[in-house]
Amino acid sequence: NAGVTQTPKFQVLKTGQSMTLQCAQDMNHEYMSWYRQDPGMGLRLIHYSVGAGITDQGEVPNGYNVSRSTTEDFPLRLLSAAPSQTSVYFCASSYTKTGLNQPQHFGDGTRLSIL
C-alpha cells in the first residue's frame, strides 16, 4: 500500500515553461487536494476534488489547473510557470466526500523552483 505518491520530488523550471505535478493514491479516497507551502505562510489550498470529474478552487488557484479523470489520479498543471510559484507542493487525500471530518494523508511533496 503506497498511500499518496507524488512525482517528481524536485524540479527546476524556467519562467514560462509548463509542467504537470503528478499525484496518485491507492486508498480509494474520494477527496484529493493540492497545497503549497511557503515560508511563513503555512499550507494553502490550491485546488481540490471530491470525486472523479469534480474539481473546485481553493484559496490560491490562480496559475494552476487540475483535472480528475480517475479516482486515483489528481495532476496539477502549471501552464506558464512564474517565479512566484516557487514553492513546495503537497498532494493529500482522505475518505471524506461531503465534509472534512477524516484525516488528510499527505504525499512526500514536490519542491519546485522557477528561475
Partner 1 sequence: ILNVEQSPQSLHVQEGDSTNFTCSFPSSNFYALHWYRWETAKSPEALFVMTLNGDEKKKGRISATLNTKEGYSYLYIKGSQPEDSATYLCAFPSSGSARQLTFGSGTQLTVLP
Contact between 106 and partner 1 (CB under 8 A)?
yes
Beta bridge partners of 37: 43, 88
Could you tell me the sign of the dihedral formed by the alpha carbons of 27, 32, 33, 34, in that order?
positive
Least separation in angstroms between CB 89 and partner 1: 11
Residue count, binding to partner 1 (CB under 8 A): 28
Question: Footprint of partner 1 on residues 1-30 (CB under 8 A)?
Answer: none
**What distances in angstroms separate CA 36 from CA 42, 69, 84, one per listed residue?**
8, 22, 11
Name the site residues for partner 1 (rule: CB under 8 A): 31, 33, 35, 40-45, 48, 50, 56, 58-59, 90, 96, 98-109
